Amino acid sequence: MHVPVLLNETIALMELCDSDLVLDGTVGFGGHSSHILAANPILRLIGIDQDPAAIAHSATVLGERATLIQGNFSNTKKLLTPLGVQSVTKILIDLGISSYQLDSAGRGFSFMNDEPLDMQMNPNGGRSAAQWLNTAPEKVLSDAFYNWGDLIHNRNLVQGIIQSRRKSPLKTTGELVMLVKKSYFFGSRPKMMKTMSQVFQAIRIAVNDELGVIQRFLNDELSIMSMGGRIAIISFHSGEDRLIKQFFKAHTDQFRPINKKVVTAEQDEIRQNSRSKPAKLRVYERIG
């Protein structure tokens, strides 16, 4: 289903112990959580994910020591209240999208198939990618592709989207792919694949307000993290990593970095799982 990235490094730096109550705020299909539970036979785990398919699958693989909640990790404090949990000792947040979500039919996350433009992490509510693309102002589109897709030159793409939606609303990933192809000269297939990934990534981040979710979670984190507890965050985009660094730099009186230098995947892992290449792991301990 999903190959967890930087798995050994994450478990080692979290320093799991018997008394831990671990929060996996992006439990997904249980990739990291199953190994966390296996690493210690006593600790307990709470897993949160907004994708009902992920929660259903994790329920079958994680066992009785895991309590699973469907929801967005930006609402962690509220989600923990019915459980009577006021604090946790370890937190893991993996900001990557799962292989299942990328590859499963009908979700619209991938440019490899012609599917409805959805891209919602929680398929049961919110705004779809089609709705965003068909209504977002020109500047919002341009800023999204620039900031979240690292697409400095996006004018042709933005104009193509606006002109196309005036004639007929965008509905499928296939239509979007054609617009991207008309907007850029690639020169090679790898360049085309990279650009497509950047476009789809930017739209996914916008549709799911991913940076807003991270910011809201970090602001709430101080109230749920035990003193001496550790948080491990795996990011995949420069905007995410920058937001994380800025937050903890502003809270050096309350957190200290465990890894002075960001942890990235070794070549062996990248060869086995290409999606691990952009991953960055940062771990912090609460000290105040």
Q: pLDDT digits over 206-215, tens only? A: 999 999 999 9
End of a domain among 145, 175, 207?
A: 207
Identify whether 116 is part of a domain.
no
More confident residue, 66 or 124: 66
Residues 196, 236: one domain? no
In one-letter notation, the amino acid at residue 167 is K
Backbone φ and ψ of 18, nearest 5°: -55, -35
Q: Is residue 113 part of a domain?
A: no
> Does 277 lie in the same domain as 263?
yes
pLDDT for 98 equals 67
- Residue 231 pairs with which residues in a beta bridge? 91, 284
pLDDT band for 105, please (50, 70, 90 cuts): low
Q: How far apart are CA 193 and CA 99, in angstroms?
A: 17
Distance CA 29, CA 53 (A): 8
Among residues 176, 207, 238, the one where a domain terminates is 207
**Tokens in use for 105?**
């039919």
pLDDT of residue 275: 85
**Is 215 in the same domain as 180?**
no
Q: Which pLDDT score is estimated for 253?
A: 96
Residue 114 lies in a domain: no
83 occurs within a structural domain: yes
Whether residues 13 and 91 fall in one domain:
yes
Spatial distance between the Cα atoms of 73 and 25, rounded to a whole number of angstroms: 5
Q: Do 196 and 242 belong together in one domain?
A: no
Residue-level pLDDT at 126: 78
Residue 2 counted as domain residue: no
| pLDDT for the residue numbered 125 | 67
Is the pLDDT score of 159 beyond 70? Answer: yes
- The residue with tokens 């937001």 is 243
pLDDT at 268: 95
| Contact of 276 with 269, CB cutoff 8 Å | yes
Higher pLDDT, 98 or 40: 40
The per-residue pLDDT of the chain, averaged, comes to: 93
Per the structure block, which two tokens stand in for 179? Answer: 């617009």
Domain hosting residue 189, numbered range: 122-207
Asked, for residue 168, whether it belongs to a domain, the answer is: yes
Number of domains in the chain: 2
What is the band of 21 on the pLDDT scale with cuts at 50, 70, 90? very high
Residues 190 and 222 in one domain: no
Q: Assess whether pLDDT exceeds 90 at residue 3.
A: no
User: In 3-state terms, what secondary structure has residue 111?
Assistant: coil
What's the pLDDT at 1?
Answer: 52
Q: What is the pLDDT of residues 224-250, one digit of tens each?
A: 999 999 999 999 988 899 999 999 999
Q: Assign residue 195 the CATH number of its domain.
A: 1.10.150.170
Both 77 and 218 in one domain: the answer is yes
**pLDDT confidence tier of residue 165, bands split at 50, 70 and 90:** very high
For residues 12 and 77, state if they share a domain: yes
Do residues 155 and 172 share a domain? yes
Helix runs in 4-71, H state only: 7-14, 31-39, 52-61
Instruction: Give dist(CA 167, CA 196) in Å, integer.
Output: 23
Co-location of 133 and 200 in the same domain: yes
**110 occurs within a structural domain:** no
Classify the C-alpha dihedral 108-130-191-243 as positive or negative: negative
Q: Six-digit token pair at 253?
A: 């009186």
Q: Same domain for 92 and 17?
A: yes
DSSP 130-193: HHHHHHS-HHHHHHHHHHHH--S--HHHHHHHHHHHHHS---BHHHHHHHHHHH---SSHHHHH
Q: Which of 207, 238, 263 is the last residue of a domain?
A: 207
Under a CB-based contact definition with an 8 Å cutoff, are residues 44 and 65 in contact? yes
pLDDT, tens digit, 9 for 90 and up, residues 187-222: 999 999 999 999 999 999 999 999 999 999 999 888
- If asked whether residues 172 and 237 sit together in one domain, one would say no
pLDDT at 121: 81
Q: Is 56 helix (H, G, I), strand (E, B) or coil?
A: helix
Give the CATH number, domain containing residue 14: 3.40.50.150
SS3 120: coil
Tell me, yes or no, whether 155 lies in a domain: yes
pLDDT digits (tens, 9 = 90+) for 253-276: 999 999 989 999 999 999 999 889
Averaged over 126-130, what is the pLDDT? 90
